[in-house]
């Protein structure tokens, strides 16, 4: 007999000591998280129970249902059952709700959800008591529904409080005020508040003309990107606060570079909107004021024009996409291929006039035509003295003003939909001109109803498509076929009227259609806002190194969507639409969050690049769909070609070429393990190091010279200003002296001396120790005699001269100072400040003294000469920094490598440097510098000292090259010394990586035979490449800066193979398709139910497995964290549609 397994884990088992123990009571009645909620919940529970008691009194029920005893008894019993269930979470902790919206209930709002709905039902009972005739039927129906509330709470069709309010605000904003679904909750609250203020103003204005002008101006203004303006101002304020508290300079926003008109608010954007407001005001005011003088056929002519523009816009929009007729028939005007960039873009130019035409229709012609139509038709008998609601009752007047406010805003907020809705309204007005209801409601109320019907019909068609696709694919797709598939299909056919009713209710309420576990078993979910998730857009993502590729591509992709939405090639930018972008092995999910006048707001999500098996199956199907849509063989005629995947949730739209990174990974077997790879790399490393060092030092010195000149110029300007003030002060002083009757002694002001001519060094040198005297004497006596001190070791190799008494050095006039002399003063420590000779002499740190770097202690053995050794006065421009001049190697260690130094290459590189700061000609400067052996010795010793790091590593071959490339060098004196000079260490790493890449290039492309080829390669590396490691911060910076090429290497420990990775920024074709929005919303609703309520986080659960038709795995990935796992999610991006 098999023993049953206990399904409860040990940590889930609870042992109670007794029934009345404190732990037992704590388990039965969980405490509140916050003590304040004890009081709040009690204050909510008391009135609810009192009103509920009155709500369920037998006398109330008898009066309501005409003394029907059966109805009274049933409603009384089950009503109290409902009331107690609503009371329970207020007394104890809230139980898990099926309708879970947030992952964590921080404020304990779930405890208030049930009581909230009880209060709604009770409020209608109170209204019925005051208005018995108006709310009688409503109260009777709600009493019956009241007893079914526990069933609704169990099924999860009633929304939590926060979700319900956001849903209600969105619906009111769209269908009452004519606004849009918003990109954030803050924007929604602000826009609803502003819209309410406009409604109040329009309602209480007693003049029709004033109401129309207010609605017209507010309609255009509120339809602009005010949310983007607020975000921009907030970012500016935050940036100023941060910059005020920090000293570093913030880099400019990369995503804002290269963007033009309407990408962000600026002076031109403000001027454009001001001009548009003026035009709107003039048109609306003049037409409404003179509306009574127009002929009766004028508004009909405008209406027919609106119908014509609506049809023309639809035709122009569809002719630019790859499919027409609801995505079933391929457009013969669309190019046959997208792989050949020149042919594709040339053929797309033929469609450009259609895009330009649509921009004009949607942005100006259509809105102004509808503005004229509304200004003429929405009026009163006397626009200058009579209100638009003068002839209406209270209720109809309120709805009429709502419709007026909405109509004037909707024509800008969603022009394409407004064209269709007003076309339908105009047909109704013309064909039913004698109907009293139509005449009473007028165009505002009819337009509001038409918009609501259009939206619900769109949702109904998409939800039906979703359900039918699920039902059919459950049998046609073998991997989705289950034992229960046939029974489900049979039951679905039999109960289709019931299922259709569920779909219709979900569409009417604008809630997601919930497929249980993504099976063709559907219910409707609880109401939620269009974004589906409570977190802020772009607030979180599962970031990884591949995230940077999506961050780099996001600005380029937003420009493509801007062009596509503006021209209409990717359809109308309706909030709630989802788009899938495919290129190479990457998938990007784009959602439209907000739509307004000449703009829309999108969110870009990047899906993981490391494809799982489920990911691969769905990605392969996506590739097949785009391949069949965009690639038509020349032998096949495109006319009459049908969509091969009509029941797929993805419909191909268009393709664009964007600058994106192509990712090439190659195995280095045969290259890195070649016998000559190490030698070739080290030879290239020497050349690269010479190049890098000279370029770095030259660039640094040129910058210093320019900064000095700039500082001197600033001091001269400051002296001129001070001199003028000084002269004014003398004039004022003399005038005051002459005006006095008693003569006083006048003290003359001292003349100003400019700062840049003052002596900055003491005219009398400080006492000099004997060793320094000898060194100075040799230095000042003859610079030529000092060249042999380059290899000096503690002065042993220096020529000795007879001791002489120290002679006082003459001060050097400031006008004769040169940069070389100033460097000399700095190095010899003479001049200011003067010090007291009676104090103990400081012990100088000799280059033979011990220093500690990290864990290693070494004694510098080689001291590189400084500027006093140079024979050329121009060599100081390449003088090594002082901290690089003490090397921790013996002279003999460096001398044995000197024959490998590329002297010819060194002289060639000197010719490529910037000598613009010198007054002499470049030829003269180069002649002197190239003949300076002291400078060459400095660089040769430093170069070969760095070369010695990689020579004695104890291993060779691929492991040597890989470890040195990665910077994993065995610790030695030189490498430890470089650790204290990170700038020099980074240059050495950079040079070695250059050398490795040069070795690869020579093996693959052929050996370089001339210095010009080496120069060309290294200049290309400096300008167009980043060669380093993927884990380095500089790699991320290079990707975000759109560096043309990136290179790195890696090692597979399992297979013991080395690989390279090359990223190349190039123009790549990007395919764009639109997803069925209800398919996405339905799967996300099921995901929330499974993970938040059922807590089924099994990675192999059925609802996350690959489904090639509805793209189940990718849709789950695209959900917001923590339920989904996109690796990149952008903040809301506003893109212009002009």
- Output 23 or 492, whichever has higher pLDDT: 492
Report the distance separating Cα 636 and Cα 101, nearest Å. 51
Determine the pLDDT at residue 776: 36
Report the distance separating Cα 120 and Cα 139, nearest Å. 11
Give the tokens for residue 174: 């769209």
Q: 634 in helix, strand or coil?
A: coil
Report the distance separating Cα 557 and Cα 604, nearest Å. 9
- What integer is the mean pLDDT of 422-433? 95
- Beta strand ranges found along 496-585 (DSSP E): 513-515, 522-524, 578-583
CB-based contact 1063:1039 (threshold 8 Å) = yes
Q: Average pLDDT over the chain, rounded to whole?
A: 84
Q: pLDDT band at 92, cuts 50/70/90?
A: confident
Instruction: Please say if the pLDDT value at position 323 is more than 60.
Output: yes
- Beta strand ranges found along 811-930 (DSSP E): 851-853, 856-858, 862-863, 886-887
Give the tokens for residue 238: 């935050």
- Output 602 or 726, whichever has higher pLDDT: 602
Selection from 965, 1097, 976 nearest residue 1030 by Cα = 965
Strand duo 1128-1129 + 1133-1136: pairing: unpaired
Selection from 356, 210, 196 nearest residue 285 by Cα = 210
Report the distance separating Cα 603 and Cα 156, nearest Å. 29
Determine the pLDDT at residue 49: 95
Q: pLDDT band at 636, cuts 50/70/90?
A: confident
Determine the pLDDT at residue 101: 92
Please, what is the angle between helix 69-91 and helix 35-55, to 10°? Answer: 170
| pLDDT, tens digit (0-9, with 9 covering 90-100), for 197-207 | 999 999 999 99
Among the ranges given (213-217, 741-745, 908-912), the one the predictor scored with the smallest mean pLDDT: 741-745
Q: Compute φ and ψ for 891, nearest 5 degrees.
A: -60, -35
Report the distance separating Cα 122 and Cα 117, nearest Å. 9
DSSP class of 642: B
DSSP percent split of the chain into helix, strand, coil, nearest 5 = 55, 10, 35
CB-based contact 944:897 (threshold 8 Å) = yes
Instruction: Please say if the pLDDT value at position 787 is more than 50.
Output: no
* Plot region of 553 (φ>0 → left; ψ -120 to 50 → alpha; else → beta): alpha
| pLDDT, tens digit (0-9, with 9 covering 90-100), for 43-89 | 999 999 999 999 999 999 999 999 999 999 999 999 999 999 999 99
Report the distance separating Cα 1047 and Cα 1028, nearest Å. 6
CB-based contact 528:167 (threshold 8 Å) = yes
Q: Compute φ and ψ for 514, nearest 5 degrees.
A: -95, 105
Report the chain's C-alpha Rg in angstroms: 41
Q: 330 exposed, middle or buried (CB, 10 Å; 0-12, 13-18, 19+)?
A: buried
| pLDDT, tens digit (0-9, with 9 covering 90-100), for 459-479 | 999 999 999 999 999 999 888
- What integer is the mean pLDDT of 119-145? 94
CB-based contact 665:1059 (threshold 8 Å) = yes
Determine the pLDDT at residue 118: 96
The beta-carbon contacts of 902-909 under 8 Å, at least 24 apart in sequence, are: 902/686, 902/687, 902/690, 903/936, 903/940, 904/1011, 905/687, 905/690, 905/1011, 905/1014, 906/690, 906/694, 906/936, 906/939, 906/940, 908/1011, 908/1015, 909/690, 909/691, 909/694, 909/695, 909/1015
Give the tokens for residue 686: 């020497």
Among the ranges given (27-41, 579-593, 702-716, 796-810), the one the predictor scored with the smallest mean pLDDT: 796-810
pLDDT above 90 covers a percentage of the chain that reads: 58
- What integer is the mean pLDDT of 943-966? 84
**CA 327, 328, 329: angle at the middle one, nearest 5?**
105
The H or E element containing residue 467 is: helix 436-476
Among the ranges given (125-139, 644-658, 781-795), the one the predictor scored with the smallest mean pLDDT: 781-795
CA distances from residue 450 to 302, 417, 688, 927, 979 in whole angstroms, order as listed: 19, 10, 72, 85, 73
CA distances from residue 253 to 239, 250, 259, 660 in whole angstroms, order as listed: 11, 9, 11, 19
Q: Compute φ and ψ for 595, nearest 5 degrees.
A: -140, 135
| pLDDT, tens digit (0-9, with 9 covering 90-100), for 581-598 | 998 889 999 999 999 999
Q: Which residues pair with 887 in a beta bridge?
A: 862
Maximum Cα–Cα distance across the chain: 133
CB-based contact 687:903 (threshold 8 Å) = no
Instruction: Please say if the pLDDT value at position 973 is more than 90.
Output: no
DSSP string, 33-76: SSHHHHHHHHHHHHHHHHHHHHHT-HHHHHHHTTS-HHHHHHHH
Q: Which residues pair with 587 in a beta bridge?
A: 582
Determine the pLDDT at residue 651: 95
Determine the pLDDT at residue 545: 84
Report the distance separating Cα 443 and Cα 435, nearest Å. 13
Helices (H), 757-805: 770-781
> How crowded is residue 171: how many other Cβ atoms within 10 Å of its Cβ?
18
**CA 222, 226, 229: angle at the middle one, nearest 5?**
160
Determine the pLDDT at residue 794: 37
Instruction: Please say if the pLDDT value at position 812 is more than 80.
Output: no
Instruction: Please say if the pLDDT value at position 761 is more than 50.
Output: no
Tell me the range of 597-611, 845-859, 885-899, 1012-1026 where mean pLDDT is highest.
1012-1026
Instruction: Please say if the pLDDT value at position 846 is more than 50.
Output: no
- What integer is the mean pLDDT of 474-499? 91
Residue with token string 């609810």? 48
- What integer is the mean pLDDT of 1101-1117? 90
Determine the pLDDT at residue 755: 46
Instruction: Please say if the pLDDT value at position 1105 is more than 80.
Output: yes
Determine the pLDDT at residue 717: 59
Q: Kindly tell me the sign of the dihedral angle through the C-alpha atoms of 354, 359, 364, 368.
A: positive
pLDDT above 70 covers a percentage of the chain that reads: 82
Strand duo 599-606 + 1025-1027: pairing: unpaired
Instruction: Please say if the pLDDT value at position 727 is more than 80.
Output: no
Determine the pLDDT at residue 34: 85
Q: Compute φ and ψ for 667, nearest 5 degrees.
A: -85, 135
| pLDDT, tens digit (0-9, with 9 covering 90-100), for 1052-1070 | 988 889 999 999 999 999 9
Determine the pLDDT at residue 292: 87
Report the distance separating Cα 1020 and Cα 1056, nearest Å. 32
- What integer is the mean pLDDT of 141-160? 95
Determine the pLDDT at residue 239: 75
Selection from 464, 474, 453 nearest residue 496 by Cα = 464
DSSP class of 308: H
CA distances from residue 415 to 178, 271, 552, 584 in whole angstroms, order as listed: 11, 22, 32, 36
Helices (runs of H) and strands (runs of E) counted in the chain: 37, 17
Report the distance separating Cα 976 and Cα 855, nearest Å. 8
CA distances from residue 82 to 70, 145, 659 in whole angstroms, order as listed: 18, 11, 61
Report the distance separating Cα 890 and Cα 847, nearest Å. 12
| pLDDT, tens digit (0-9, with 9 covering 90-100), for 860-894 | 556 664 444 678 888 888 888 888 888 888 888 88
- Output 59 or 615, whichever has higher pLDDT: 59
State the pTM of this model.
0.84
> How crowded is residue 365: how many other Cβ atoms within 10 Å of its Cβ?
17
CA distances from residue 245 to 231, 443, 605 in whole angstroms, order as listed: 21, 57, 33
| pLDDT, tens digit (0-9, with 9 covering 90-100), for 198-247 | 999 999 999 999 999 999 999 999 999 999 899 888 888 887 665 554 44
Determine the pLDDT at residue 824: 46
Report the distance separating Cα 1009 and Cα 828, nearest Å. 45
The beta-carbon contacts of 785-789 under 8 Å, at least 24 apart in sequence, are: 786/865, 786/868, 786/869, 786/934, 787/865, 787/869, 787/871, 787/933, 787/934, 789/865, 789/869
Helices (H), 853-895: 891-895
């Amino acid at each position: 007999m098999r023993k049953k397994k206990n399904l409860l884990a040990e940590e889930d088992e609870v042992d109670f000591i007794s029934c009345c123990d404190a732990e037992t009571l704590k388990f039965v009645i969980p405490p509140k998280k916050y003590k304040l909620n004890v009081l709040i919940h009690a204050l909510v529970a008391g009135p609810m129970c009192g009103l509920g008691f009155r709500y369920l009194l037998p006398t109330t029920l008898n009066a309501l249902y005409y003394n029907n005893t059966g109805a009274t008894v049933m409603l009384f019993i089950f009503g109290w059952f409902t009331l107690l269930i609503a009371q329970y979470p207020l007394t104890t902790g809230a139980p898990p709700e099926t309708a879970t919206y947030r992952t964590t209930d921080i404020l304990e709002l779930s405890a208030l959800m049930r009581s909230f709905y009880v209060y709604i039902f009770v409020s209608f009972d109170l209204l019925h008591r005051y208005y018995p005739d108006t709310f009688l039927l409503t109260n009777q129906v709600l009493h019956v529904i009241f007893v079914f509330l526990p069933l609704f709470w169990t099924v999860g069709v009633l929304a939590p409080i926060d979700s319900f309010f956001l849903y209600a605000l969105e619906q009111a904003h769209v269908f009452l005020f004519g606004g849009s679904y918003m990109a954030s909750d803050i924007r929604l609250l602000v826009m609803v508040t502003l819209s309410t203020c406009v409604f109040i103003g329009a309602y209480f204005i007693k003049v029709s003309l004033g109401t129309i002008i207010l609605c017209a101006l507010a309609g255009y203004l509120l339809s602009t990107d005010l949310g983007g303006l607020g975000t921009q101002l907030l970012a500016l304020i935050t940036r100023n606060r941060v910059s005020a508290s920090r000293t570093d300079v913030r880099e400019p926003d990369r995503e804002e570079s290269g963007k033009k008109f309407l990408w962000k608010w600026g002076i031109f954007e403000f001027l454009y909107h001001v001009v548009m407001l003026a035009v709107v005001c003039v048109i609306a005011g003049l037409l409404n004021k003179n509306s009574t003088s127009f002929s009766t056929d004028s508004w009909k002519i405008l209406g027919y024009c609106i119908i014509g523009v609506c049809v023309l816009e639809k035709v122009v929009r569809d002719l630019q996409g790859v499919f027409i007729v609801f995505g079933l028939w391929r457009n013969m005007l669309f190019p046959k291929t997208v792989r050949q960039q020149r042919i594709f873009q040339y053929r797309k130019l033929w469609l450009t006039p259609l895009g330009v035409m649509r921009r004009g229709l949607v942005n100006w012609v259509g809105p102004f035509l509808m503005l004229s139509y509304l200004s003429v038709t929405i009026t009163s008998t006397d626009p200058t003295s009579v209100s638009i609601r003068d002839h209406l009752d209270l209720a109809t007047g309120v709805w009429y003003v709502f419709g007026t406010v909405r109509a004037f805003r909707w024509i800008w907020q969603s022009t394409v939909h407004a064209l269709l809705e007003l076309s339908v309204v105009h047909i109704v007005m013309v064909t039913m001109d004698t109907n009293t209801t139509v005449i009473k409601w007028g165009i505002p109320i009819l337009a509001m109803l038409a918009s609501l019907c259009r939206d619900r019909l769109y949702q109904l068609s998409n939800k039906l498509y979703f359900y039918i696709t699920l039902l059919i694919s459950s049998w046609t797709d073998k991997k989705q076929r289950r034992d229960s598939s046939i029974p489900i299909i049979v039951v679905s056919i039999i109960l289709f009227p019931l299922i259709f009713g569920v779909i219709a209710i979900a569409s009417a309420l604008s809630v997601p259609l919930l497929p249980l576990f993504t099976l063709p078993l559907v219910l409707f979910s609880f109401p939620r806002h269009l974004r589906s998730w409570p977190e802020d857009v772009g607030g979180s993502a599962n970031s990884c190194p591949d995230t940077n590729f999506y961050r780099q591509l996001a600005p380029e992709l937003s420009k493509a969507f801007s062009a596509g939405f503006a021209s209409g090639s990717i359809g109308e930018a309706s909030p709630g639409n989802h788009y899938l972008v495919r290129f190479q092995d990457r998938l990007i999910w784009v959602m439209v969050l907000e739509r307004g006048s000449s703009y829309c707001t999108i969110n870009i999500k990047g899906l993981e690049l490391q494809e799982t098996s489920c990911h691969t199956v769905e990605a392969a199907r996506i590739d097949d769909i785009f391949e069949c849509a965009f690639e038509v063989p020349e032998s096949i005629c495109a006319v009459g070609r049908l969509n091969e995947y009509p029941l797929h949730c993805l419909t191909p739209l268009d393709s664009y070429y964007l600058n994106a990174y192509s990712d090439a990974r190659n195995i280095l077997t045969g290259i890195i393990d070649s016998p000559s790879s190490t030698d070739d790399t080290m030879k290239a490393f020497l050349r690269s190091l010479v190049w890098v060092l000279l370029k770095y030092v030259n660039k640094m010195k040129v910058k210093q010279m320019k900064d000095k000149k700039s500082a001197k110029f600033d001091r001269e300007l400051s002296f001129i200003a001070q001199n003028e003030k000084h002269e004014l002060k003398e004039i004022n002083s003399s005038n005051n002296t002459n005006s006095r009757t008693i003569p006083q002694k006048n003290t003359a002001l001292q003349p100003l001396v400019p700062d840049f001519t003052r002596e900055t060094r003491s005219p009398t040198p400080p006492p000099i120790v004997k060793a320094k005297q000898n060194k100075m004497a040799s230095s000042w006596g003859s610079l030529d005699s000092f060249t042999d001190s380059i290899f000096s070791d503690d002065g042993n190799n220096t020529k000795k001269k007879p001791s002489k008494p120290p002679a006082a050095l003459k001060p050097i006039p400031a006008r004769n100072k040169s940069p070389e002399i100033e460097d000399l003063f700095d190095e010899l420590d003479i001049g200011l400040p003067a010090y007291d000779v009676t104090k103990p002499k400081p012990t100088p740190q000799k280059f033979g003294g011990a220093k500690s770097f990290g864990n290693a202690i070494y004694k510098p053995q080689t001291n590189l000469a400084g500027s006093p050794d140079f024979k050329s006065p121009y060599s100081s421009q390449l003088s090594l920094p002082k901290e690089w001049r003490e090397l921790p190697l013996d002279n003999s260690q460096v001398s044995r490598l000197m024959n490998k130094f590329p002297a010819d290459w060194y002289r060639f590189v000197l010719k490529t440097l910037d000598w613009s700061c010198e007054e002499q000609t470049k030829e003269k400067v180069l002649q002197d510098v190239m003949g300076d052996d002291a400078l060459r010795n400095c660089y040769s010793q430093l170069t070969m000292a760095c070369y010695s790091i990689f020579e004695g590593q104890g291993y060779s071959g691929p492991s040597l090259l890989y470890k040195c490339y990665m910077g994993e060098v065995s610790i030695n004196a030189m490498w430890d010394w470089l650790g204290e000079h990170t700038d020099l260490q980074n240059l050495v790493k950079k040079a070695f990586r250059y050398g490795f890449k040069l070795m690869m290039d020579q093996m693959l492309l052929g050996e370089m035979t001339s210095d010009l080829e080496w120069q060309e390669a290294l200049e290309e590396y400096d300008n167009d490449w980043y060669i380093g490691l993927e884990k380095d911060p500089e790699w991320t910076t290079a990707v975000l800066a759109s560096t043309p090429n990136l290179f790195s290497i890696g090692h597979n420990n399992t297979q013991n193979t080395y690989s390279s990775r090359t990223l190349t920024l190039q123009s790549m074709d990007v395919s764009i398709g639109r997803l069925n929005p209800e398919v996405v919303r339905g799967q996300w609703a099921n995901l929330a139910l499974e993970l938040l309520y059922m807590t089924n986080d099994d990675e192999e659960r059925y609802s996350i497995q690959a489904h090639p038709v509805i793209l189940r795995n990718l849709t789950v990935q695209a959900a917001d964290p923590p339920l989904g796992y996109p690796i990149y999610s952008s903040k809301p991006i506003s893109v212009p549609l002009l």
